[in-house]
Amino acid sequence: MRLGFHLSIAGSLLRAIQQAQVLGCQALQIFVQNPRAWKWREIPRPEIEAFISARRLAGLGPLAVHLTYLPNLASVDAALYQKSRERLARELALARELEADYLICHPGHAALEPESFRRVARTLAAAVAQTSPPPLVLIENTAGQGQELGWRPEHLGMIMRRAEVPLGLCLDTSHAFGAGYDLRHPAGVARLLLEIAQGPGLERLKIIHLNDSRAPLGSRRDRHAHLGQGTIGLEGFRQFFSHPWLRPAAAIMETPKRHQADEWRNLLCARSLTSTKMLLG
């Protein structure tokens, strides 16, 4: 399993590659714009080309782009919905230019009703149809905070079926735990993977977001923690990774960013967890 982090592109796209190399990552996730603003920074062609060649040289892959935070693909507000659709299409096109493998997005916030899932499906289908060939769009499970959709695999399966374009799945361990799936115990892991198998399908699971949680089980809250320092814990993750159905190509950590020592530690933990997996598998 290839391991990596979500890394910052503040200043330049190349910064994320350099940082990934310092850390010894194999996979990488980035935002392609400031995640908390609608303002668009046009990225100069030479910067894009430098990024592509540096990534090739570093042998980094898969490369995932995470959609920025402001778009709400399920919004009932017509203006926000339109803006979100345009933004998704624009970020997907940029992800393609950067030769990203995946674009990861959350389903959005809206009432838990079939029309909300239809809106998300229409948005995703339109963006995918506009970009050719697009990086594979992965929908990420959520903790279900507030009106957040996607805290059950069934929600993601509904969107995928309605979109009628190829879509994949990104499984965030911290979000799943917040949504009530107890990854520390075989029954909790089995329930989650069974629901994925029955909803989106296990073959769609491409990326794991490997995060511990600061929130209690089933709290519907989204708080990431360093591996082994949260409510899932290393023993919990060991349990999670021992399930034979779990075979994603890459795990990406979105752990809090304070000291570089934390990244080294998280990477060591992740390596020990996933190498046990390889021995077992």
User: Which residues bind to Zn ion, rule: CB under 5 A?
Assistant: 140, 172, 209
CA distances (Å), origin 142, targets 1, 56, 168, 178, 212: 23, 32, 15, 8, 14
Q: Please identify, using beta-carbon distances, which residue of 101 and 140 lies nearer to Zn ion.
A: 140
| Phi, psi values for residue 27, rounded to 5° | -120, 165
DSSP H stretches of helix in the chain: 14-23, 45-58, 78-97, 114-130, 153-163, 173-178, 186-198, 233-241, 260-280
Least separation in angstroms between CB 243 and Zn ion: 19
Token representation of residue 103? 């674009």
- The partner residues of 27 in beta bridges, in order of sequence, read 4
Least separation in angstroms between CB 79 and Zn ion: 24
Q: What is the DSSP string of 95-115?
A: HHHTT-SEEEE---B--SSHH
Least separation in angstroms between CB 141 and Zn ion: 8
Contact indicator for 35, 278 with CB cutoff of 8 Å: no
The DSSP code for 148 is B
From CA 273, how far away is CA 83, in angstroms rounded?
41
Contact indicator for 69, 35 with CB cutoff of 8 Å: yes
Q: Please identify, using beta-carbon distances, which residue of 209 and 214 lies nearer to Zn ion.
A: 209
Least separation in angstroms between CB 41 and Zn ion: 21
From CA 247, how far away is CA 207, in angstroms rounded?
9
Q: Please identify, using beta-carbon distances, which residue of 5 and 81 lies nearer to Zn ion.
A: 5
Token representation of residue 84? 């979100």
Least separation in angstroms between CB 257 and Zn ion: 14
Helix axes 14-23, 260-280, angle to 10 degrees: 60
Q: Please identify, using beta-carbon distances, which residue of 20 and 207 lies nearer to Zn ion.
A: 207
Q: Please identify, using beta-carbon distances, which residue of 209 and 277 lies nearer to Zn ion.
A: 209
Least separation in angstroms between CB 224 and Zn ion: 8
Least separation in angstroms between CB 94 and Zn ion: 18
Q: Please identify, using beta-carbon distances, which residue of 140 and 182 lies nearer to Zn ion.
A: 140
